[in-house]
């Protein structure tokens, strides 16, 4: 699973992770899945991060009737019971997010981990100096990352894709 957005700007949250059985089930069945635990585990581990949350809601992201293109995961660190309205709203949100996820998957797949973090910080409106402080690097390296991100995410207009019109010289045929 490759996250495209997280609640916090941290490399730890944006790392690629294997899909756990509950998330696989939600994708396979193409419907939301809710898991609530009876007790909280005080110790957590990196591998089963999904199972460390007492309440978690999975909703497939994609067009209705088609294979999901992503998975929306909402978790609560406290004991919480999701209502039927919460589940229905999240399911609808998964359908609504499909065009956005489709549009983001292409450009964001070109970014490495540090560039993805910079892209998220840029989306918050941070300046280059603020980004340098947030990722704990110097201004020059941050500027380089910002330039790489803006270059990779630059939109391409229809005019950029057109072939240039070259005027051909007319040759006169004499008989």
For residue 70, the model assigns a pLDDT of 87
Residues 122 and 91 reside in one and the same domain: no
pLDDT by position in tens, the chain (length 175): 555 565 555 556 556 677 888 888 999 999 999 988 755 555 655 555 666 678 889 999 988 888 898 889 888 877 788 899 999 999 999 998 888 887 777 777 788 888 888 888 888 889 999 999 999 999 999 999 999 998 888 865 556 545 555 455 555 556 6
CA–CA gap between residue 6 and residue 169 (Å, rounded): 58
- Three-state DSSP class for residue 156: coil
| Residue 135 resides in a domain | yes
Whole-prediction pTM: 0.58
- Give how many domains the chain has, as a whole number: 2
Q: In b/e form, how buried is each residue of 67-99, taking b as 16+ CB within 10 angstroms?
A: ebbbbbbbbeeeeeebeeeebeebbeebeebbe
Q: Which domain does 143 fall in, by range? A: 110-153
Q: Is residue 158 part of a domain?
A: no
| pLDDT attached to residue 145 | 94
pLDDT score recorded for residue 128: 92
Q: Residue 72 maps to which CATH number?
A: 3.30.450.40
Q: What is the CATH number of the domain that holds 114?
A: 1.10.10
CA distance 89 to 33: 13
Q: Looking at the structure, tell me whether residues 31 and 115 fall in a common domain.
A: no
CA neighbor of 54 nearest in space, from 69, 42, 73, 37? 37
């Amino acid at each position: 699973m490759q996250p495209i957005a997280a609640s916090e700007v941290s490399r730890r949250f944006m790392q690629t992770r294997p899909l756990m059985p509950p998330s696989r089930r939600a994708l396979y069945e193409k419907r939301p899945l809710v898991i609530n635990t009876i007790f909280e585990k005080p110790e957590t581990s990196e591998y089963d991060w999904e199972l460390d949350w007492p309440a978690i809601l999975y909703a497939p992201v994609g067009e209705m009737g088609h294979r999901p293109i992503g998975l929306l995961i909402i978790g609560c660190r406290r004991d919480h019971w999701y209502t039927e309205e919460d589940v229905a709203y999240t399911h609808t949100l998964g359908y609504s997010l499909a065009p956005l996820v489709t549009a983001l998957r292409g450009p964001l797949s070109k970014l490495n981990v540090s560039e993805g973090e910079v892209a998220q910080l840029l989306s918050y409106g941070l300046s280059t100096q603020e980004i340098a402080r947030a990722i704990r690097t110097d201004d020059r390296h941050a500027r380089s990352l910002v330039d790489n991100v803006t270059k990779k995410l630059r939109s391409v207009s229809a005019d950029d894709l057109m072939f240039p019109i070259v005027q051909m010289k007319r040759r006169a045929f004499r008989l």
